[in-house]
Amino acid sequence: MLTSIQYNLVHGQLKLVPIGASPHAESASQKSGRIQAVNLPFFDDFSTTASSQPDPAFWMQGSGVYINNTLATTQPSVNMATFDGLNASGVPYNYTNQLSQGNTDTLTSVAINLAGLAPSDSVYLSFYWLAKGLGEFPDENDTLRLEFLNQNKQWISVWQKNGMVYDSLFKQEFIAVNNPAFLHADFQFRFRAYGRLSGFYDTWHLDYLYLNKGRSINDRFIKDIAVRKPLTPFLKKYTSMPLKQYWVNPRLATADSVGTDILNLFNNFNFTTFTFTVKDELTGRQLQNYNGSASVFIGGSQTQVKSVALNQIAEDNSVKALKLRYKFNLITTDDQNPAIPSVNLRRNDTISARADLSDYYAYDDGSAEYGVRINQRLARAVVRFSLSQPDTLAGVRMSIVPFNKDISGQSFTLQVWSNKNGKPDQLIVQKAVAASYAAERDSLIQYAFDNPVAVADTFYVGWLQINEEPLSIGFDRNSLLGRNEVFFNLGTEWVKDTGLKGSIILRPYMGGRAVGVVTGSEEFEKDAYFFPNPNRGVLNWKNKQIKKIEIFSIVGSLVSVLHPESGTLSATVNDLPDGMYLIKASDGKRSFVQKMLIVK
């Protein structure tokens, strides 16, 4: 639910909100292509899933669950299935009633042949589950339940968990399949979430499902070592950066090391070694190859951190871009597992990540767990970026995510600011654009400036909130690289944000040659500001060029418009109630916004 967000920010500052996904995404098929039932054992930890959708070899399509490795941190192996309240198209089940409740995501297995089995065959289904993770905490009336399909095609509930039961660790469950009504040729099981139908409000996670005969309630350990946490960034300050900026000082830009942790799911002695490689996906050239030393696990549920020092990439001016795939590959004996002889458990022994050295800067890992918005009209928010050498800014790629309402086509203004003393200073350029949603989850929208913008060193890119309905920008809670780079402005002063623990998904991309003098709507000099503040009902100013004064309430509603005559340096606003206002002044070319308290 929304109130579970742990960011107690006052009105007007940056605030996190749950996300939906593109209202324009295409629907997935609701039918599985499989005709014949599969045989035991049934095992899936989602580690081999190539997309955000469950593998159709095991699951009916159209489930609505989201396969990812970013919405929790304690999963037993790489990737998990997240029940996030969005349907298979990534759209809320009910976009019109924000308080509606009902069944949301449903993960249904394909048919499994249990014919000929008896209760004495000791069939058990085991799985790991977690509420919330890095998503939203389910309410106490929200549920995740497990249902079995009996021989009469009826779904019978066999297990259920309610919300508001917090634990940071995944918990393993064992459910017996010992009712003869379930032991038939077309048995299926499904997990179904119940909660808010209007979006990403109630989050459950599921992983490492195993159904087989000959098991017991004590059969909790499998000879398996698994990777799980995403690899740390390849770069020291960014997740991606322009190649020519990287070449200025590769050693300074490259992280000292990258790493992950691995988990022993066995309750006894186990050992592993690993390899680490860095490869350019564009050319196939291998840039680093490292063989790790052997590691020994003494007991079960033990984790180990693995890290490797990174090599500096030698400069090659003939290369225009590098798409680096860096990968950990565990060397284990998990393929020799007598407990599940037909399942190769080396499937979860590899984890990789990518760092683009091409044309853009990014602090994020590409996945949006939340949206970030600023709930005030005419407020601004920016993200800071630092160049290694002067360059030109061609445009911005950004994640725009839905929250409660479809705002496709709504206007907002992209802005680029210069730097002074570690804060935004002068507006370099701005462009009015329309909000748009990408066709696929975690895809970006690109906005190009009319001409490339010359930037010398540190610059700031962000948006001006024009409408009363706020814009929601994708927010990555896994990458903390951008947590100290966000500033907001509610009127006249830029303030560094200290509440957001993550990175806004906003990526400036470089390129092109600046044409002539690049200009935006420049701000007035300081002597143009209104005074005194607090004010007793008479506005005074020093700039004789002001032609229009707009006064907005603190929530962005326009309450008064003044058109001073030439040379006028004051105006009476006694008709306004006492309170805080935003005052926007313009001479027809330049403008500024000031926050003012009026008390008469």
For residue 313, give the CATH number of its domain.
Answer: 2.60.40.10
CB 462 within 8 A of CB 405: no
CB 177 within 8 A of CB 151: no
Mean pLDDT taken over the chain: 86
DSSP state of 544: T
CA separation for the pair 375, 425 (Å, rounded)? 23
4 falls within a domain:
no
440 and 546 both lie in a single domain: no
Report how far apart, in Å, the C-alpha atoms of 175 and of each of 210, 235, 350 are. 11, 45, 29
Supply the pLDDT for residue 94. 57
328 and 231 both lie in a single domain: yes
CA separation for the pair 389, 548 (Å, rounded)? 40
User: What's the chain's Rg over C-alpha atoms?
Assistant: 28
Any idea what the CATH number is for the domain that residue 579 is in? 2.60.40.3080
CA separation for the pair 211, 561 (Å, rounded)? 69
Any idea what the CATH number is for the domain that residue 395 is in? 2.60.120
Residue 473: closest CA among 500, 429, 447, 506: 506
CA separation for the pair 39, 184 (Å, rounded)? 12
**Per-residue model confidence as pLDDT tens digits over 218-267:** 888 888 999 999 999 999 999 999 999 999 999 999 999 999 999 988 87
CA separation for the pair 57, 185 (Å, rounded)? 17
305 and 215 both lie in a single domain: no
199 and 51 both lie in a single domain: yes
90 and 201 both lie in a single domain: yes
pLDDT of 527 above 60: no
Q: Could you give the count of Cα atoms lying within 13 Å of 310 in the half-sphere of its Cβ?
A: 26
5 falls within a domain:
no
CA separation for the pair 18, 1 (Å, rounded)? 9
Lowest mean pLDDT among 57-71, 268-282, 550-564: 550-564
246 falls within a domain:
yes
501 and 419 both lie in a single domain: yes
CA separation for the pair 81, 52 (Å, rounded)? 9
Q: 440: pLDDT confidence band, cut at 50, 70 and 90?
A: confident
CA separation for the pair 352, 365 (Å, rounded)? 12
Q: 271: pLDDT confidence band, cut at 50, 70 and 90?
A: confident
208 and 328 both lie in a single domain: no
Lowest mean pLDDT among 11-20, 85-94, 212-221: 85-94
User: Higher confidence at residue 80 or residue 340?
Assistant: 80
User: Higher confidence at residue 64 or residue 109?
Assistant: 109
Supply the pLDDT for residue 521. 37
Written as one letter, the residue type at 259 is G
The H-or-E segment that residue 130 falls in is: strand 124-131
Domain containing residue 147 = 20-220
In sequence order, the 6+-apart residues with CB closer than 8 A to the CB of 582 are 377, 378, 490, 491, 551, 552, 553, 554, 556, 593, 594, 595, 596
65 and 186 both lie in a single domain: yes
Query: In the listed set 358, 385, 417, which residue is the last one of a domain according to the structure?
Result: 358
502 and 453 both lie in a single domain: yes
Query: In the listed set 193, 220, 247, which residue is the last one of a domain according to the structure?
Result: 220
Here the tokens at position 205 are 């996670």
Q: 596: pLDDT confidence band, cut at 50, 70 and 90?
A: confident
CB 186 within 8 A of CB 108: no
**Per-residue model confidence as pLDDT tens digits over 356-386:** 999 999 999 998 888 999 988 889 999 999 9
**Per-residue model confidence as pLDDT tens digits over 464-499:** 998 878 899 999 988 999 999 999 998 889 999 998
Give percent of the chain with pLDDT exceeding 90.
55
Any idea what the CATH number is for the domain that residue 132 is in? 2.60.120.260
- Report the domain count for the chain: 4
3-state helix, strand, coil in the chain (%, to 5): 5, 45, 55
294 falls within a domain:
yes
Here the tokens at position 462 are 């962000």
Strands (E), 435-524: 445-455, 458-464, 473-476, 486-489, 494-496, 503-504, 506-510
Helix/strand/coil (H/E/C) assignment for every residue in 49-62? CCCCCCCCCCECCC
CB 477 within 8 A of CB 502: yes
Lowest mean pLDDT among 55-64, 224-233, 297-306, 393-402: 297-306
482 and 542 both lie in a single domain: no
CB 277 within 8 A of CB 268: no
10 falls within a domain:
no
Residue 272: closest CA among 264, 260, 281: 264
490 and 396 both lie in a single domain: yes
pLDDT of 101 above 70: yes
338 falls within a domain:
yes
Q: 30: pLDDT confidence band, cut at 50, 70 and 90?
A: very low
**Per-residue model confidence as pLDDT tens digits over 169-189:** 999 999 999 999 999 999 999
172 and 302 both lie in a single domain: no
User: Higher confidence at residue 321 or residue 409?
Assistant: 321
Query: In the listed set 197, 220, 243, which residue is the last one of a domain according to the structure?
Result: 220
Supply the pLDDT for residue 6. 38
305 falls within a domain:
yes
**Mean pLDDT calculated for residue range 26-33:** 41
12 falls within a domain:
no
**Mean pLDDT calculated for residue range 76-85:** 91
**What's the gap between Cα 118 and its chain centre?**
46
User: Higher confidence at residue 576 or residue 29?
Assistant: 576
pLDDT of 29 above 60: no
DSSP state of 4: G
